[in-house]
Amino acid sequence: MSEQPARLAVPVVWSEDCLRHDPGGEVWLGVRDAGTEVPARALALRDALVAAGAPIVEARPHGEQVLRAVHDGSLVDHLAGVWAAWEKAGYPADYGRDRVVPYVFPTPGMLAGLEPHPPPALHGRAGLYCYDTMTLIGPGSWEAIRGAADAAQTAAGLVSAGTPVAYALCRPPGHHVTRAAYGGSCYLNNAAVAAQALRAAGADRVAVIDIDAHHGNGTQMIFYARADVFYGSVHVDPGAGWFPHYAGYAGERGTGEGAGANRNLPLAPGTGDDGWLAAVAALCDEAAAHRPEAIVVSLGLDAAEADPESPLRVSEDGYRRAARAAAALGPAVLIQEGGYDLPTLGPLAVAALAGAAAAHDLA
């Protein structure tokens, strides 16, 4: 008789709608590349987790209250309507522009203190809500964006109701989205949505532990002035030339009420398990000092050695240990962020979820 592997006892919250976002590549330095944030990522993750015995839970539709608590309503409205408006205005049919991509950005240098005037022209307005050229919007994007945010809220709901660990298979990812602007292959901030949902359900203090290879500049800034949500991140040093370039430095510690409730631990390119896990441990110690009642893990898998989008060199076992350490801080919602190496994504996610399960004696 062959030995059955232990069932992975972490619910995987999933929305079929997450497959509908087809960004059609990314414009990097003026040229459209194939891009790495593809629907096949979600299938690779889902199939591996199902094979490991994890139960699939359908994402439940939620209203927009939590979305509008962490985002400006105008960003939500823009995302919900921009594709239909783009199509109706003829950009695909008349100009061959098959995705929404901005070309003018209201940077502080352009406006020198002037409040940006919302442009009536959609091709101008596109840059009001989007801060890069790599984050394209097409026909099914909004349904997927909404599905990912629903998955995050469903997972948060499970944890609020007593499930010790739940995982939301969010696609597209979210941690680069600020209160009012999207970018970095992200559209709504699923981790911030989960944290806010946990707060609304009664957790007085929440800690977000972000182990994606990139700094979660969006989540950081959403909670930057708040003491009730700690944000901590380990990531490749933006000062060494990595996205998001403008934030993610060690000196960013929060402001006002949130002073001291933000911690960045940037790492040198090439950092592997030892350095990465030491930083994760330090981050978890600091998060614990804030006495969180619930945890959100921004689970990017792109710090893995094989990943094409980052120079960190973390192993499967490294992910198992990191997720275990983060989930040991309290009831935990795991939110899928980046991770782009299709052959290794599944095993990495299984390892991370197994680590989180072990922290709660579920394995």
Question: Which residues make up the interface to ligand SP5 (CB under 6 A)?
Answer: 28, 33, 35, 134, 173, 176, 184-186, 212, 214, 243, 300, 302, 309, 337-338
Check whether the bond before 116 is cis (ω within 30° of 0).
no
**Which amino acid makes up residue 135?**
T
* Token pair belonging to 166: 């739940």
Q: What is the CB neighbour count within 10 angstroms for residue 274?
A: 9
CB nearer ligand SP5, residue 125 or residue 171: 171
* Residue with the two structure tokens 């992200």: 186
Residue 213 CB, shortest distance to Zn ion, in Å, is 5
Residue 302 CB, shortest distance to Zn ion, in Å, is 4
Alpha helical stretches, state H, the chain? 39-51, 65-70, 73-88, 91-95, 108-111, 122-129, 141-160, 190-200, 217-222, 273-289, 316-327, 342-359
State the binding partner of 185 from Zn ion, ligand SP5, none, CB within 5 to 8 A by kind.
ligand SP5
Q: Decide if 176 is catalytic.
A: yes
State the binding partner of 16 from ligand SP5, Zn ion, none, CB within 5 to 8 A by kind.
none
Residue 186 CB, shortest distance to ligand SP5, in Å, is 6
Among 106, 147, 300, 346, binds Zn ion (CB under 5 A): 300
Task: Give the CB-nearest residue to Zn ion.
Answer: 338
Set 176, 215, 235, 290: catalytic member = 176
Phi/psi of residue 201, nearest 5 degrees: -85, 0
Residue 36 CB, shortest distance to ligand SP5, in Å, is 6
State the binding partner of 28 from ligand SP5, Zn ion, none, CB within 5 to 8 A by kind.
ligand SP5
Is residue 107 a contact partner of residue 76, using CB atoms and an 8 Å limit? Answer: no
Q: Give the span between the Cα atoms of 333 and 348, in whole angstroms.
A: 17
Q: Give the span between the Cα atoms of 207 and 198, in whole angstroms.
A: 10
Q: Is 132 in the site for Zn ion (CB under 5 A)?
A: no
Q: Is 338 in the site for Zn ion (CB under 5 A)?
A: yes
Residues of the shown chain interacting with Zn ion in the complex, contacts defined by CB under 5 A:
212-214, 300, 302, 338
Q: Name the residues annotated as catalytic.
A: 176
